[in-house]
Structure 1
Amino acid sequence: MGETTEPGEKRAYIASHNDIKLPVTVVNGAKSGPTLLLAAGTHGDEFPSMFALQRLAKALDASTINGTVIVLHLANLDGFHGRRLALNPKDEKNLNREFPGSPTGTATEQIADLLTREFISKIDFFVDMHSGSSNQKLLNHVYSPFVGDKKLDALTFDFAKATGMQHIVMYGDRPRDPANSVSFPNTAMTRGIPGLTTEIGHLAQRDEKSIEFAFDVTKNTMIFLSMLPGERAVHPKPVIYKDVKYIKSEHDGFFTPLKTIGDKVKPGTRLGTVTDYFGNIQQTITAPTHGTILMINETPPVKNGESPVAIGIVQK
């Protein structure tokens, strides 16, 4: 984006292109090594990683790290200031569904195009950092995508374990066409670059525990890449999920959860109820499979076809 950061230098600036503004910190290590992109704010109401990346950018010393860290503090600045759940108020689109974007498209499509051209094209590893929006309660987890390239998929899985997170979701549902990559991390994967998604924190909160955990995850990834000294932080008892089952509501109305994140369920377990606007039960949502609840809605509004519950299916 027309900005240069010399070896051994750290720069924080607003990178601008037409109407797009992106707060960026580049820490260009004095010693050679990989280039790591850490991004927050792809969805503007997911806050813990934003604060974690502020701390990391301030803590890193360019004279002592190996390689380069690009910190994208807020990928969706308009969504952040618009206080929007996942969407960009300029065009009502979800940035994480518009990649690789278009230079002549809508506002969100132009951001996706810029991130593809100016960020993804310059990196070796990527972590897109998310959390639960204001309606979602989440069990902290990391998505380890796979695209059918054995070497890349294995490296990505090692990268996911190196975050130190216990719950790892194997994820192969995204398109494998670079011209239709859809999401930010999948844009990296379809170009041969390991790209993770972390989910840390929930309910649009900014609690210290989640911020500190997200901060630790970023440092763990740097240790794995030999950018910082230290011991690798693989969780001693990782839980690997082979799939995530999203359970849909069949009605508009109020959702009331009967279980919470981390709960183990089996077929028939009652997960929540959907009532109409008068309080009459229209549906009892039950588990179709064994698994662990990874996400559940804590706020009442629900629409027909929405998924207020997600169950992780453990890989045996």
Structure 2
Amino acid sequence: MSYKMIAGHELIPGKTIKDHIHVEGTELHIPHVFLCGEHKGPTVLISAGIHNAEYVGIQAAIELSGELDPSTLSGNVIILPLANRSGFENRTMSMVYEDGKNLNRVFPGDNKGSEADRLAHMIFNVFIKNVDAYIDLHSGDGFESLIPYAYYLGSSPAEETARQMISCIDTKYCVRSRCTTGGAYNLASIHGVPSVLIERGQLSLFSRDEIEADKADVINILKYLGVLEGSHKSYPKKELTEYDIDSPCTGCWYPSLEVGTRFAKGDCLGQIRDYFGHPIHECIAPSEGILLHQCASLNVIEGDPLIAYGVQTGKELS
């Protein structure tokens, strides 16, 4: 009998595989875990560390790889606990160490490009294209404060299943994304793989409560997908459209609001000052919204993310 093959591994029921895959044309070797269920079912990919300083998801993925028991699974769970390993080992925040590129901005990648391009190409073609559902774990970066929320891609072939996966995530808000380029989860959705991205944790910190919450969300989604036995929970949430504000200049940043705060059009969201303390830019809300994440460091860099906020669509998921 022949079994599904992914990354050179045969997914034999009951088998656990822990290995590294080499990214062709680079010195990169990426850890991965295969948990092959003893019963038939879908194959689900869980990734973390695409942004390598987002530690909540990385630790949750590492723990799940040791806690999920193949004898309890219907189908297969594949875990990439640390997609950007070289960035993690060199503490480069969101960037791949060798080329300085943001891995989650270059999908589907290029097998003739630089390291980030080749890494994205491998993840997409070896893993994402060969699974039935995908969960991507993220957090706030080392300079970002953030409230927990989740993304799914709207107007995609996999939208309805992704919406059901989103309902399994224990957050107050979700974003129906309009972005169809660059990212791993949205590219997967375009290619018919129902995918969600969970944001939880901030400032490159990782607490036990946040790690357990990530793990609980993943397990709840696996129950919905039929990979684990048991009924899943649904969590009502408000749906948002996300808008981003990048910094128009380099300087010192003084935010006015905490993440999670509602604001009105015209409210001051913060101020950038020069190194003498003089104001050089005031960030004014272009509409009402909810502050999802923002730069939480003193320094801001021209063109880098400053604020992301959500505007309610009027829809509620339940």
TM range (shorter): over 0.9
Q: For residues 263-274 of structure 1, what are the structure 2 equivalents within 5 Å?
A: 263-274=261-272
**Root mean square deviation, CA, Å:** 1.4
**Does the 8 Å contact 1:139/1:261 carry over to 2?**
yes
The one-letter code of the counterpart of 1:185 is Y
Shift of 1:82: 1.2
Structure 2 residue aligned with 1:189:
189
Gaps of 5+ in 1: 176-181
CA distance in structure 1 between the partners assigned to 2:168 and 2:253 by the alignment:
36
Give per-residue Cα distances to partners, 1:117-143, cap 9 Å, x unaligned: 210122000011110001100111110
Distance, in Å, in 2 between the alignment partners of 1:205 and 1:6 is: 37
- Does structure 2 retain, via aligned residues, the 8 Å contact 1:88–1:108? yes
1:119 and 2:130 equivalent? Answer: no
Give the direction of change, closer, same or farther, for the CA distance of 1:16–1:307 in structure 2 (3 Å limit): closer
Q: Which amino acid aligns with 1:192?
A: G
Alpha-carbon distance in structure 2 between the residues aligned to 1:248 and 1:168: 21
Q: 5 Å matches for 1:1-316? A: 1-18=7-24, 19-149=27-157, 152-175=158-181, 182-235=182-235, 237-241=236-240, 243-316=241-314
1:305: how far off?
3.4
Between 1:208-217 and 1:300-309, the stretch displaced more is: 300-309
One-letter amino acid matched to 1:158: Q
Q: Which amino acid aligns with 1:12?
A: K
Q: How many residues align?
A: 306
What are the Cα deviations for residues 149-183 of structure 1, in whole angstroms up to 9, with x where unaligned? Answer: 3xx212211111122332110002224xxxxxx21
| SS of aligned partner of 2:43 | strand
Distance 1:229 1:147 in 2: 30
Task: Give how far 1:249 is off.
Answer: 3.1
One-letter amino acid of the structure 1 residue matched with residue 192 of structure 2: G
Contact 1:120–1:187 (CA<8 Å) still a contact in 2? no
C-alpha offsets along residues 242-266 of structure 1, whole Å, 9 cap, x if unaligned?
x212233333210011101110100
Q: Is the 8 A contact 2:151 2:177 kept in 1?
A: yes
Aligned counterparts of 1:225 and 1:165: Cα–Cα separation in 2: 19
CA distance in 2, matches of 1:303, 1:58: 40
1:173 & 1:111 partners in 2: Cα distance? Answer: 21
What TM-score do you get using the length of structure 1 for normalisation? 0.93
The percent of aligned pairs where both chains have the same amino acid is: 27
Bigger CA drift: 17-26 or 79-88? 17-26
Shift of 1:216: 0.9
C-alpha deviation, 1:287, in angstroms: 1.3
- Cα distance, 1:51–1:307 mapped onto 2, change above 3 Å: closer
Listed one character per residue, the Cα deviations across residues 170-197 of structure 1 (whole Å, up to 9, x for unaligned) are 002224xxxxxx2111221121111211
Q: Which amino acid aligns with 2:175?
A: V
SS at match of 1:32: strand
Rounded to whole Å, the distance in 2 between the matches of 1:165 and 1:159 is 12
Deviations 1:201-236 (A, max 9, x none): 01001211211111111111101111112332221x
* Partners of 2:114 and 2:269 in 1: CA distance: 39
Q: Secondary structure at the match of 2:226?
A: coil
Q: What letter matches 1:296 in structure 2?
A: Q
Letter of the structure 1 residue corresponding to residue 86 of structure 2: D
Q: Equivalent residue of 2:291, what SS?
A: strand
User: What CA distance in whole angstroms lies between the structure 1 residues aligned with 2:140 and 2:225?
Assistant: 27
C-alpha displacement of 1:17 = 4.2
